[in-house]
Structure 1
């Protein structure tokens, strides 16, 4: 199994990349992945996405230590994801109060992926906009660029809020799973090319297996999209892709949006 990730500032952004990503093991068998997209019209949105990522990293480390000493751990994978989110909720509230942060300083989308390597099962939860690809099937969450940010709900009861989350996908026996911020849908032509070849950037980044043996596969693909096809994302982009293909035996599938 290989995990690839890439983070790139959008062509229309100047000062900061407002997206963020993390990949962190929880104990010996589980992996937590997350991509965040800060709200461009909020305050210092790169701070919000990075803050959420740093807190999730901290929670993953703590959960890993807990697993070492709790031999009777029987929670389902969704229960574990819910526990991670509950801790994130608590930490954000504490930091908001401690640092006297405005709600507009905490606006970021979050897509969480929790995968159990032992059982080969996973769950993905999207809080806000973004895109998920599981074995060639693409699911895009979009609310007219008005995401329902987690920070809007910090005063609510966590369990009530969680029970209302519908942007949730379960998977098992996966071969190729990706999560991406909505920048993946923002590719546009930024320069002319000497050929008329066309390409679907979503397919190319999330499904195509070119350079799959390289740890820098996604970075290499972004460079080819820019320098050969003349395409770049206008919005910031964060992508994490987990692949279990046997190298050399799989060819890319063509999947429409």
Structure 2
């Protein structure tokens, strides 16, 4: 299995990258990864996307300790729900401790749990973003009115979770999570050739001999095709 990631500030963002990504393992065969996109119209949006990633790291690390002593065969879907429950609780703790307002808690989240032993996975989508599941790309676009975790932290978790887009993955081949910055590429310099950045980054497997595949492809888009993402971009891609 090969894992590739990239995180890049968008051309339209002058100071901060408001996206963030996370990747870790509960055990050698259970992988958890996520991409977050802080709302540009929110306050210090880079903070909540980064905080969400750090909390996920804490949750997965704790799960890895428990799994070491008490191995579990919990399904990816069940793991996904439990991680989200803990994330909700932790975000509420930080919200209260730091007296964070709602507009400081606005981040999207694409969260993926994969079990290579079971050959299955599960994806949760909160807000805008793009996923690739074995060559099938799905774009989640709520027409500039995306959902954010911060809208729901005061709700009953189980009631909220039942309404969410949880996507089962029945075969692990080529899976990607990306923030909506992947659909924002702009042409800075005209080129005689055209290319689809989304296809290049999420489906094409060229240049896979290096762990920097996605970063190299972004350099190729910039220097060969004159294209850069207008919005911030975070991508996690797993090729099994």
State TM-score, norm by structure 2. 0.98
| 1:122-180 CA-partner distances (Å, limit 9, x unpaired) | 11111110000011101111111211111111111101110111x22111332211000
In structure 2, runs of 5+ residues without a counterpart are none
Within 5 Å, give how 1:26-45 maps onto structure 2.
26-45=26-45
In structure 1, runs of 5+ residues without a counterpart are 245-257
- Is residue 76 of structure 1 aligned with residue 64 of structure 2? no
- Is residue 92 of structure 1 aligned with residue 88 of structure 2? no
Within 5 Å, give how 1:100-139 maps onto structure 2.
100-139=99-138
**1:228 equivalent in structure 2:** 224
**1:183 equivalent in structure 2:** 181
Number of aligned positions between the proteins:
240
**2:194 equivalent in structure 1:** 198
**1:216 equivalent in structure 2:** 212
Q: Distance in 2 between matches of 1:109 and 1:119?
A: 28
SS in 1 for 2:155: coil
Q: Distance in 2 between matches of 1:174 and 1:81?
A: 16
**1:251 equivalent in structure 2:** none
User: Structure 2 vs 1, CA of residues 74 and 3 (structure 1 numbering), >3 Å: closer, same or farther?
Assistant: closer
**1:248 equivalent in structure 2:** none
Q: By how many angstroms is 1:197 displaced?
A: 1.1
SS in 1 for 2:225: coil
Runs of 4+ in 1 over 3 A off after TM superposition: none
SS in 2 for 1:79: helix
State TM-score, norm by structure 1. 0.91
Q: Distance in 1 between matches of 2:32 and 2:121?
A: 10
- For the aligned residues, what is the CA RMSD? 1.0
Q: Distance in 1 between matches of 2:14 and 2:205?
A: 31
**2:63 equivalent in structure 1:** 63
| 1:180-214 CA-partner distances (Å, limit 9, x unpaired) | 00000001101133xx2110000000111110111
Q: By how many angstroms is 1:74 displaced?
A: 4.5
Q: By how many angstroms is 1:70 displaced?
A: 2.1
Q: Distance in 1 between matches of 2:222 and 2:128?
A: 24
SS in 2 for 1:132: strand
Q: By how many angstroms is 1:19 displaced?
A: 0.2
Q: Distance in 1 between matches of 2:209 and 2:173?
A: 15
